Structure 1
Amino acid sequence: MLTIRRNGTNSHAFPALFDDFFSRELFNWGNNNFSSTSTTVPSINVKETAENYEVEVAAPGLDKKDFNVTLDNNLLTISCAKSTSTEEKGEGDNYTRREFSYQSFQRSFELPKNVVDEDNINARYDNGILNLTIPKKDEAKQKAPKMIEIA
């Protein structure tokens, strides 16, 4: 057992380490990307340009078929569900091990009214990042300042 001397007294480090570890919530590591059900919610970046909105979802280890993206009125919803299972049998069928996992998340964002060109939204999944490009309608695009001639 590791003994630490503090102010001339002996103190055992392991009990404090175990007390600290077991007294805190398992997934409360100061990261806001964990939901109350201890499942990971991916980080999302949203960027607005003069031409469109760009959304990036960090979701490694998934396939593009796992995602569902919908736009209903002004509500953009990105959801994902993936389940996997494996089974191993040992020699002579003395043991069987089955493991399964299920991942899911859903994020929704309200877009400004009458701004989005719904027919030209583009989505692609590449290297663990889901990228959405949501173009703005022509009338909503930021235009260059118009010079007004003074008479």
Structure 2
Amino acid sequence: MKFDDFLIRDIFNWGLTNFSDTNTTIPAVNIKETADNYEVEVAAPGMTKNDFRVQLDGNSLVISSEKTTGKEEKEDTRYVSREFSYQSFSRTFNLQKDVVDTERIQAKYEDGVLHLLIPKMEHVKQKQPRLIEIS
């Protein structure tokens, strides 16, 4: 299965897959293809890089997060209402090992977006057009 084939199925199944087990929305993902790489952007404002786990398990790239937040209150405080926030998600993308270089995948979190750079193997990179001289 190609990386973009999985993406297409993911788009068509959006209604079934955009919520996690805790009924929170899964962050939106953009996937861009360049001549040399696939670039994945996961919208996740308010998080830190330590909130994420990016794992390669065979041909599966798993992006997940679990975050619990709550207000600290003093012991002598009587609660009328108190709300905690718990968010978790997991997205899995199937990669073809003969298409992407899984050893060189990079990830960084910046300005509320988790960025992943997934390099293509040398033999599948798009070559620039070249002019063939006619003799």
Q: What TM-score, normalized to structure 1?
A: 0.66
Matching residue of 2:115: 131
2:47 is aligned with 1:95:
no
Q: Is the 8 A contact 1:42 1:59 kept in 2?
A: yes
User: Unmatched 5+ residue regions in structure 2?
Assistant: 1-13
Q: Which has the higher contact order (CA 8 A, sep 6+)?
A: 2
Ranges of 4+ aligned residues in structure 1 off by more than 6 Å: none
The answer to which of 127-136 and 98-107 deviates more is: 98-107
Alpha-carbon deviations, 1:93-125, whole Å to 9, x = none?
361475432110000111233121122211111
User: Unmatched 5+ residue regions in structure 1?
Assistant: 1-30
Matched letter for residue 95 of structure 1: R
In 2, Cα distance between the equivalents of 1:125 and 1:94?
A: 37
Matching residue of 2:71: 86
Larger radius of gyration: 1
Q: Is the 8 A contact 1:45 1:55 kept in 2?
A: yes
Matching residue of 1:105: 89
1:1-150 matches, within 5 Å, as: 32=15, 33-35=18-20, 37-89=22-74, 93=76, 95-96=78-79, 99-145=83-129
Alpha-carbon spacing, 1:94–1:80, altered in 2? closer, same or farther (3 Å): closer
In 2, Cα distance between the equivalents of 1:150 and 1:94?
A: 86
SS of the residue corresponding to residue 103 of structure 2 reads helix
Structure (1 or 2) with the greater strand fraction: 1
State the Cα RMSD in Å.
2.6
Q: Percent identity?
A: 58
SS of the residue corresponding to residue 53 of structure 1 reads strand
Q: What TM-score, normalized to structure 2?
A: 0.73
SS of the residue corresponding to residue 25 of structure 2 reads coil
Work out the number of aligned pairs and report it: 119
Alpha-carbon deviations, 1:57-113, whole Å to 9, x = none?
0011111001011122221110001112323238xx361475432110000111233
SS of the residue corresponding to residue 50 of structure 2 reads helix
Matched letter for residue 41 of structure 1: I
